[in-house]
Amino acid sequence: MVSSAVCIATITDDLFTEDFFKLIELRYSSDSVEDFSDWRDTINKGTTLGDYERLHLANQFANRRIRFVSDSDHWHKSDYWATPLESLGTKGGDCEDFAIFKYFTLKAMGVDENKMRLRYVRALLINEPHMVLIYFENPKAMPLVLDNLKTTILPADQRRDLKPVYSFNGQGLWLAKAQGLSTAKPNSGGTKNWTDLVNRIENGE
């Protein structure tokens, strides 16, 4: 296992070691080594930028390197939250995996996790549940939406095709409100998937 995988949220040099890349090649493929090298370089570049540039860098990287594939086809499970290593290593994931990958990439770049939420929405144009990553410059600001359906980052009030359901991050679970303000709801179902995901990241999956 890559025991230092949790460090993607803090110290990138501690994750991207020679042993790490050897394990990536064994676990996935030689092509994946290049993807992970590019991910490392993207994170390192992001540490030198402001948040707005970081958002675009992480959003573009994820949307270009990960293809959409359903959990049933990809993991043979009805609902599976892949770690960033799994999503990039297999070059695939569903909407939740895109959002999770962007969240941890931005956190590794230095974006404050209190400014980010994974938000469950209903995608009205396809009438399906969907997940996006949202970013708040400050608690009263209109959040920006990072999505894999529409790859341009837009303010939430310009995404009328998305109906908010609830949002959360590692600090708890929040019910979405009209202007993106949130109220804690720590016992909702998303916390189990989140806790399982974080545990698997810490175990190097």
Highest mean predicted confidence (pLDDT) among 6-20, 42-56, 80-94, 117-131:
42-56
Indicate the number of domains in the chain: 1
- In this structure, what DSSP letter does residue 144 have? E
Q: Pick 153 or 14 by higher pLDDT.
A: 153
Would you tell me how many other CB atoms lie within 10 Å of the CB of residue 204?
A: 17
Of 195 and 171, the one with more pLDDT: 195
- Asked if the model's pLDDT at residue 42 lies above 90, the reply is yes
Q: How confident is the model at residue 166 (pLDDT cuts 50, 70, 90)?
A: confident
- The model's pLDDT over 110-163, given as tens digits with 9 standing for 90+, comes to 999 899 999 989 999 999 989 999 999 998 999 999 999 999 999 999 999 999
- Percent above pLDDT 70 for the chain: 77
Q: Strands across the sheet with 162-169, in order?
A: 154-155, 144-146, 128-135, 116-123, 162-169, 172-176, 182-184
CB 82 within 8 A of CB 200: no
Whether residue 184 has pLDDT greater than 60:
no
pTM of the model: 0.83
pLDDT at 179: 34
Could you tell me the CATH number of the domain that includes residue 100?
3.10.620.30
Return the bridge partners of 163, or none. Answer: 122
Domain that holds residue 144: 5-202
Tokens for 55, please give them. 């958002």
CA distances from 152 to 36, 81, 129 (A): 24, 24, 20
- Region 184-195 average pLDDT: 54
**Phi/psi of residue 129, each to 5°?**
-65, 150
User: What spatial distance separates the first Cα and last Cα of the chain, rounded to whole Å?
Assistant: 7
Of 118, 114, 121, 138, the closest CA to residue 193 belongs to 118
Buried b (16+ CB within 10 A) or exposed e, 59-89: bebbbebbeeeebeebbeeeebbbbbbbbbb
Average of per-residue pLDDT values in the chain: 83
More confident residue, 8 or 122: 122
Residue 170 phi, psi dihedral angles, 5° rounding: -65, -15
Structure-block tokens of residue 147: 């999505």
Cα dihedral value 192, 198, 201, 203, nearest 10: -80
Query: Which residues lie closer than 8 Å to 202 by C-beta, 6 or more apart?
Result: 5, 6
- Does residue 3 have a pLDDT over 90? no
Q: Give the per-residue pLDDT at 203.
A: 63
